[in-house]
């Protein structure tokens, strides 16, 4: 729980109500508190207009791509949402505030009423094709294209007020229009309006936009009013739920990992961007992938990390770069990312359509357990990702980020399988079967991602470590009190500004968040020199919610992690079941051996794991839930 100042509290009643209810963020709730609205039991799949067309989008381009999705069979494989991005709005009509569509670009919208074009015929058409329809807006008064576009051509026209096509001051009106009147099923809410229209903005200075004091700064979390940003996004979520009472919607947040959103989006919407925009360049893919790969515990059915749309079909991911295109797809599936095609499907070659259509890899992304892959091996050039599937099998991706081939020793233990029993694997590109015991050598080409589905004998015969099942864990309070940028996220050789200035700096807050099989700052989990290859690392003063559905036992070995620099304060570990205290350790300090804690959870639906300390600098006090596991099923 981030602290909110009294002044901010006075200005934002709804947030303060939330804060009052949860005055003690470590108090057990007895219920799963992450976002449960909308329809995102698995990550959304479909298509988005931005990467292919930017603001030069029109009805023919969208419908042609939608038609290809149907004709190619991708719709049957799950690609359902056809999302219109920035560029559709002509202006806001005054004084009634109605949004006017660019009818010249979307002719069907003017078919019934030229004065007030409506997207209803357009969404009807997509629905009749068996598809769903998505729309775009911005949380501020203006959109991102209005801040960044080099030309005026595709931007809203008219007076400053008429150009204000964003949600700010119009949340109820616009959301009702999109979902009730126009029949959209999905909304992406961007954030440039909250950050790019300060008094020094060129558009403001040129008299094209009204100044709005920025409340968000992607490069400086300390210049960001996290509570106000969160409050606005919660208000939009509430408006969507009112406008779409059947719950058939997807709410996508697009603030690029700013405002510490990587920690709280799971409580507010269905998908949330973890980074700035992807581009069709390998280095950029690495940035976006890195922004999500260590955040497995912050994603679960209903709310997913979004490293941005697929850029397969352009630049480093075009048909001449099938290795990179396949890596992009495999990695996004392992991350449980939304699979939103960003290509102009009128022109996409079959070789790339086959990448989108790999049903075995789609199945990993769409697996009902919703476990984002965790990192089993990590180095600058080579990573091994492992993901537990609902049938107990594992998906394994071996990702060569670098420029040379890499010899890999894949070990059964990296999959949390026994190393004296055979592991059978199917290569999900070639469909070749391979088998090994203990370990196997593989050679992975530069930029290649080998991806397998594996079957073996689990280390825990009748259950799983929690770190194998991040989809059932919610870090309801992760202990972070002072969000700072994660220094491990790859910084591109040339960012948006080329090589001007000093280069990219760390900018995505969340360093020190909860991690699977790792201490919060990346060290091996270790208590009093005993290492734990499996476990959850988190800061003190934290609470994890864990869904249980039939396991009989929860057990862990707990203590202050050796990576803690606070050697003074003690931590008490408590396990709750459906809100009742089941077990508690005595106070444990740095250097003391881990204590076993184990409870019967046979009829318990929600287990809560609380690490409480009198310390206030949680950042100096990482703790370990070593070998934390649900067993007995």
Our finding on whether 85 is near ligand GAL (CB under 6 A) is yes
Nearest residue (CB) to ligand GAL, 86 versus 185: 86
User: Using CB under 6 A as the criterion, what x/- string covers residues 247-276 for binding ligand GAL?
Assistant: -------x-x--------------------
Residue of 190, 225, 324, 561 that binds ligand GAL (CB under 6 A): 190
Residue 113 CB, shortest distance to ligand GAL, in Å, is: 28
Other C-beta atoms lying within 10 Å of the C-beta of residue 111: 13
CB nearer ligand GAL, residue 145 or residue 331 = 145
Which SS3 state, helix, strand or coil, does residue 234 take? helix
What does DSSP assign to residue 317?
G
Query: Whole-number minimum distance, CB 192 to ligand GAL, in Å?
Result: 5
In the bound complex, what is the minimum distance in angstroms from residue 252's beta carbon to ligand GAL? 10
175, 177, 562 from 181: Cα distances, Å: 9, 5, 57
C-alpha 57, offset from chain centre = 26
Residue 218 touches ligand GAL, criterion: CB under 6 A:
no
Q: Are 375 and 304 in contact (CB under 8 A)?
A: no
Nearer to ligand GAL, 224 or 624 (CB): 224
Q: Which stretch binds ligand GAL (CB under 6 A): 115-123, 138-146, 376-384, 605-613?
A: 138-146
- Would you give the DSSP letter of residue 193? G
- Least Cβ distance, residue 367 to ligand GAL (angstroms): 26
Write the interaction track for ligand GAL spanning residues 394-433; mark x where CB under 6 A is met and - where it is not: ----------------------------------------
Closest-approach residue to ligand GAL (CB): 144
Residue 81 backbone dihedrals phi, psi, to 5 degrees: -85, 125
Q: Which of 192, 345, 459, 609 binds ligand GAL (CB under 6 A)?
A: 192
Q: How far is the CB of 8 from ligand GAL (least distance, A)?
A: 25
Minimum CB distance to ligand GAL smaller for 190 or for 608: 190
Q: Return d(Cα 121, Cα 107) in angstroms, integer.
A: 10
Cα distances (angstroms) measured from residue 404 to each of 232, 381, 383, 385, 410: 46, 9, 14, 19, 18
Q: How far apart are the first and last CA of the chain?
A: 33
- Listed residue (428, 456, 433) closest to 333, CA to CA: 428
C-beta of 214 vs 626, nearer to ligand GAL: 214
Q: Which is nearer to ligand GAL, 306 or 393 (CB)?
A: 306
Rounded least distance, CB 336 to ligand GAL, Å: 19
Q: Which is nearer to ligand GAL, 186 or 576 (CB)?
A: 186
What whole-number distance in Å separates Cα of residue 273 and Cα of residue 378?
23
**Residue 540 near residue 611, CB atoms below 8 Å:** yes
Residues 305 and 295 sit within 8 Å (Cβ to Cβ):
yes
Residue 259 CB, shortest distance to ligand GAL, in Å, is 14
Selected catalytic residue, list 124, 277, 360, 419: 277
Contact of 294 with 488, CB cutoff 8 Å: yes
Stretch that binds ligand GAL, among 114-122, 137-145, 381-389, 414-422 (CB under 6 A): 137-145
User: CA 251 to CA 84: how far, in whole Å?
Assistant: 14
- The encoded tokens of residue 325 equal 């295109």
Give the nearest distance from C-beta 44 to ligand GAL in angstroms: 14
Structure tokens at 424: 């059978």
- The whole-angstrom separation of Cα 248 and Cα 311 is 27
Query: Is 517 among the residues known to form the active site?
Result: no
Nearer to ligand GAL by Cβ, of 144 and 629: the residue is: 144
Indicate the residue among 86 and 164 with the shorter CB distance to ligand GAL: 86
Is 85 or 517 the residue whose CB approaches ligand GAL more closely? Answer: 85
Rank residues 192 and 540 by Cβ distance to ligand GAL and give the closer one: 192
- The candidate with the shortest Cα–Cα distance to 355, out of 322, 399, 400, is 322
Using the rule CB under 6 A, is 118 a contact of ligand GAL? no
Which residues is 46 bridged to in the sheet? 81, 340
Query: Considering only residues 6-65, where is the footprint of ligand GAL by CB under 6 A?
Result: 50
Q: Torsions phi, psi of 538, nearest 5?
A: -155, 165
Give least dist CB 149 to ligand GAL, A. Answer: 8
Place of tokens 């997509």: 126
Q: Is 413 helix (H, G, I), strand (E, B) or coil?
A: helix
Query: Is-catalytic flag, 190?
Result: yes
Structure tokens at 101: 């569509």
| Residue 155 C-beta: closest distance to ligand GAL, Å | 10
By rule CB under 6 A, what count of residues binds ligand GAL?
Answer: 11
Q: Which residues pair with 132 in a beta bridge?
A: 81
Q: Which ranges in 76-139 belong to alpha helices (H)?
A: 120-128
Binding-residue pattern over the window 140 to 169 for ligand GAL, x denoting contact by CB under 6 A: ---xxx------------------------
Catalytic residue among 85, 190, 196, 260: 190
User: According to CB under 6 A, which residues from 277 to 296 bind ligand GAL?
Assistant: 277
**Bond into 155 cis (ω within 30):** no
Q: Which one among 86, 267, 324, 504 touches ligand GAL, defined by CB under 6 A?
A: 86
Q: Which of 103, 79, 76, 72 is nearest to 90 (CA)?
A: 103
CA distances from 130 to 71, 176, 194, 409 (A): 12, 23, 35, 45
Strand (E) or helix (H) holding 547? strand 542-547
CB of 143 to ligand GAL, least distance (A): 6
Q: Stretches 139-147, 221-229, 550-558, 562-570: which one binds ligand GAL (CB under 6 A)?
A: 139-147
Instruction: Supply the residues annotated as catalytic.
Output: 190, 277
- List of residues contacting ligand GAL (CB under 6 A): 50, 85-86, 143-145, 190, 192, 254, 256, 277
């Amino acid at each position: 729980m981030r602290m909110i100042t009294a002044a901010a509290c006075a200005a934002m009643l709804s947030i303060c109500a939330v804060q009052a209810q949860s005055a003690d963020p470590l108090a057990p709730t007895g219920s799963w508190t992450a976002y449960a609205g909308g329809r995102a039991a698995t990550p959304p799949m479909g298509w988005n207009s931005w990467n292919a067309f930017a603001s030069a989008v029109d009805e023919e381009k969208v419908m042609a791509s939608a038609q290809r999705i149907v004709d190619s069979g991708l719709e049957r494989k799950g690609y359902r949402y056809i999302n219109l991005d920035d560029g559709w709005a002509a202006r806001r009509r005054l004084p009634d505030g109605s949004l006017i569509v660019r009818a010249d670009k979307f002719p069907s919208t003017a078919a019934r009423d030229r004065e007030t074009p409506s997207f209803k015929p357009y969404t009807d058409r997509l629905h009749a094709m068996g598809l769903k329809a998505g729309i775009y807006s911005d949380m501020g008064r203006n959109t991102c294209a209005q801040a960044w576009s080099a030309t005026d051509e595709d931007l809203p026209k008219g007076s400053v007020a008429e150009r204000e096509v964003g949600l700010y001051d119009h949340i109820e009106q616009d959301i009702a229009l999109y979902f009730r009147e126009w029949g959209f099923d999905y909304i992406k809410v961007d954030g440039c309006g909250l950050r790019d229209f300060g008094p020094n903005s060129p558009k403001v200075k040129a008299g094209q936009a009204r100044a709005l004091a920025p409340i968000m700064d992607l490069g400086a979390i300390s210049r960001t009013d996290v509570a106000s940003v969160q409050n606005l996004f919660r208000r939009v979520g509430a408006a969507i739920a009112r406008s779409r009472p059947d719950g058939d919607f997807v709410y996508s947040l697009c603030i690029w990992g700013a405002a510490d959103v990587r920690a709280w989006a799971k409580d507010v919407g269905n998908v949330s961007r973890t980074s700035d925009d992807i581009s069709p360049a390998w280095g950029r893919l690495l940035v976006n992938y890195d922004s999500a790969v260590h955040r497995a515990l912050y994603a679960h059915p209903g709310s997913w990390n979004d490293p941005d749309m697929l850029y397969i079909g352009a630049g480093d991911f075009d048909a001449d770069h099938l290795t990179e295109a396949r890596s992009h797809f495999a990695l996004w599936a392992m991350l449980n990312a939304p699979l939103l095609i960003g290509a102009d499907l009128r022109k996409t070659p079959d070789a790339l359509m086959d990448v989108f259509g790999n049903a075995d890899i789609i199945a990993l992304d769409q697996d009902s357990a919703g476990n984002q892959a965790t990192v089993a091996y990590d180095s600058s050039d080579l990573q091994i990702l492992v993901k537990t599937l609902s049938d107990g099998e594992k998906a394994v991706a071996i990702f060569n980020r670098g420029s040379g081939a890499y010899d890999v020793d894949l070990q059964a233990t990296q999959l949390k399988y026994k190393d004296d029993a055979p592991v059978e694997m199917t290569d999900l590109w070639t469909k070749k079967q391979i088998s090994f015991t203990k370990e196997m050598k593989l050679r992975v080409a530069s930029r290649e991602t080998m991806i397998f589905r594996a079957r073996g004998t689990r280390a825990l015969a009748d259950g799983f470590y929690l770190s194998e099942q991040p989809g059932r864990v919610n870090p309801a309070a992760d202990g972070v009190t002072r969000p700072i940028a994660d220094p491990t996220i790859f910084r591109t050789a040339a960012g948006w500004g080329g090589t001007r200035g000093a280069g990219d700096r760390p900018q995505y807050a969340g360093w020190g968040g909860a991690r699977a099989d790792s201490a919060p700052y990346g060290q091996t989990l270790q208590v009093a020199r005993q290492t734990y290859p499996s476990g959850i690392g988190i800061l003190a003063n934290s609470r994890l919610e864990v869904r249980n559905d039939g396991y009989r036992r929860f057990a862990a070995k707990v203590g202050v992690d050796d990576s803690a620099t606070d050697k003074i304060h003690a931590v008490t570990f408590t396990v709750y079941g459906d809100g009742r205290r089941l077990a508690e350790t005595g106070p444990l300090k740095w250097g003391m051996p881990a204590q076993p804690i184990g409870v019967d959870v046979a009829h318990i639906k929600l287990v809560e794991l609380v690490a409480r300390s009198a310390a206030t600098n949680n950042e100096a006090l990482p703790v370990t839930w070593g070998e934390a596991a649900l067993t007995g099923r």
